[in-house]
Amino acid sequence: MIKTLRIYLIAAAILTAGVLFYTKAVAPGEPRDSDVSISVPETPVEYTSSQEISGLTVSQSVYGSDAAETIDAANNLLYQYAALWGDSLDSVPGQIAASAGLEPSVLAEEDYAIIRRAFDLAEETGGLFDPTIGALTSVWAEGEATADQVSWALTCTGWELVSLSDEEMSAGIDRPGISVDMGAVLPGMAVQAVLEEYQTSGIDGGLVAMDGAAAMTGVKGGEGKPFTLGLLNPLTNDGEHYAVLQADDLVICTADAESGLLDPMTGYPAESDLLAVTVLSEDGFLADAMSSILYMQGLEEASSHLEETDYQVILVDENGNIYLSPSLREKFTLRDTENFSLTD
């Protein structure tokens, strides 16, 4: 389940309010080279960072005197999450894949809890959310997969093919070819970690966006203005926004037709009668996972989740009708009233 960034910051020119802080992507712990430029005024106003981390675009905009240090700490967190939950041999999914046909891989307690949660969600959704979609992800990575490739990948997909032991905190695979892919929740988890860093850092405010997930807290420095997120128009994909959203201290994740979601049941890109699903929660894992799940479930099933207490939902159907969790009404402003309408 792969997502591309569909949430964008609505703000007056992001680089005009102060200072540019640009970092070049480097591995965790490696020194940053001469391409890194930092300009620090006597009273820092705004720092921004844009970079690629494990193929994912990450953008940050942070205000306050501790902004530079906070962005540096946030980037370190992002690298750690990418290393821990990406597709490298040393990652948690890599460790599990290496156990195929051998002894199960014993995981750290915190890591096992995340893996257990992912597989519990797979069981709850009947496999619609499937952490073993790695083979399908790989055959679609270079473009259009062939029918033979999809057929092969489906033989290596199925959450039941991984054995978990709560007692041993281990995960094992019976045969090679099966791989775990946490791409459906990695951005949400990483953005939550960055948000928590922002909240404890002493900055005035900050916003982070990463591959379909975003979060914001506080205000824009001395201006005292709240951050606003624009929701991209799913009818045209022309860069315009159909609505804006204010939602501090929550992780916000969107899934739509451009997100590259793969249906683990068919092996092909997911189809839906929904144009877009946005989920907001304090829990980044949950927000990211549920945006994908609700999109694939479709309008009838997804609309039954509007009253959930652990997360809030925005649904956009094929006719431009918008369905909101009641608690979002005051945070949501519809901009494109010609093509979209709010339901009662």
pLDDT tens-digit map of 145-196 = 999 999 999 999 999 999 999 999 999 998 889 999 999 999 999 999 999 9
With both helix axes pointing from N to C terminus, report the angle between 186-201 and 284-297 in degrees, rounded to the nearest 10.
Answer: 140
Question: What angle (nearest 5°) sits at the alpha carbon of residue 88, between those of residues 86 and 91?
Answer: 65
pLDDT at 39: 39
What distances in angstroms separate CA 151 from CA 173, 282, 285, one per listed residue? 20, 38, 29
Q: Is the pLDDT of residue 285 over 60?
A: yes
What is the rounded CA–CA span in Å between residue 134 and residue 29? 28
Taking alpha carbons only, the member of 191, 162, 186 closest to residue 176 is: 162
The distance of Cα 40 from the centroid of its chain, to the nearest Å, equals 31
pLDDT at 45: 63
Mean pLDDT for 60-75 is 93
Tokens standing for residue 199 = 């909240």
Mean pLDDT for 259-273 is 94
pTM of the model: 0.86
